[in-house]
Amino acid sequence: MKDYTGTRWRASHLFARRSIVRSKNLTRPAPLSVKELLRENAELRHELARLEASRSLAYRDELTGLWNRRYFTERLTEELSRARRQPQRHFSIMMVDVNDLRVLNDSYGHGEGDLVLRWVAEFLERLLRTHDVLCRVGDDEFAVLFPEMGASESAPLLARLRAALSQARTGAPFSIGLSFGFAHYPENGTACDDLMHVADDEMDLDKRRQKIASAGAPRAQSAAAAARTG
């Protein structure tokens, strides 16, 4: 501890300190008026809206307007963390693949393929719950996160999807085929990669089954007509 006993105190020291305080008070900015505060508040709201719009664009797929793979990964990670904290909580994911999209693009052009992708996005949105998280995660792949949905509910949902797809394709000159694969927490895994791997495998298995069933079936001529029939 510093010893101040040998320091001689002078009244001028106190006056000097008071002078410094007064000079600081004189340089302090004047308070803003109500009008200025309102203007600054409006500018802050505008900037926040701009930042939120930019953030949303970073998570959106440009072609379909759906959420993208980055968003799906983050939401899946959040859902997994929530489920680990609440052992009674469960959820499911579904992978969806547009069958033969590469062949379609090669045969009819990418414009036709884009129409099909937009149609599939709208088709899935119509049949899913409002709080389900639908994303486009690859060129021909979609992924869905189903909060609070267990394994027992996936079979009825898959039946509805197949029935609706079959009806949408009826009479169309081009058949749009979709392959589906489910994974359920915690039955099929307790990590994101494990769940994605199971759903991918189930989707590939469904695709192989469909190819075997439709072997030799004639192809139609236009994807655009099918996209418009939805």
Stronger pLDDT, 178 or 16, i.e. the higher one: 178
| Claim to verify: residue 164 and residue 117 sit in the same structural domain | yes
| Claim to verify: residue 125 and residue 152 sit in the same structural domain | yes
The helix (run of H) or strand (run of E) holding residue 27 is helix 11-27
DSSP structure class, residue 132: S
| Domain ranges, residue 93 | 67-229
| Claim to verify: residue 174 and residue 125 sit in the same structural domain | yes
pLDDT per residue as tens digits for the range 184-223: 999 999 999 999 999 999 999 999 999 998 875 554 444 4
| Claim to verify: residue 36 and residue 104 sit in the same structural domain | no
Rounded to the nearest 5 degrees, what angle is found at the Cα of 154, between the Cα atoms of 148 and 158? 135
| Claim to verify: residue 54 and residue 71 sit in the same structural domain | no
Stronger pLDDT, 150 or 42, i.e. the higher one: 150
| Claim to verify: residue 20 and residue 95 sit in the same structural domain | no
Q: Where are the beta strands (DSSP E) in 23-122?
A: 91-98
- Sequence-separated contacts (24+) of 188-192 with Cβ below 8 Å: 190/80, 190/84, 191/80, 192/73, 192/76, 192/77, 192/80
| Claim to verify: residue 29 and residue 50 sit in the same structural domain | yes
CA distance 102 to 91: 32
The per-residue pLDDT for 108 is 83
| Residues forming beta bridges with residue 184, ordered by sequence position | 92
The helix (run of H) or strand (run of E) holding residue 229 is helix 223-229
Stronger pLDDT, 32 or 10, i.e. the higher one: 32
| Claim to verify: residue 219 and residue 132 sit in the same structural domain | yes
Q: How many domains does the chain have?
A: 2
Residue 116 domain-assigned (yes or no): yes
Residue 214 domain-assigned (yes or no): yes
Stronger pLDDT, 65 or 87, i.e. the higher one: 65
CA distance 10 to 53: 62
- pTM, 2 dp: 0.72
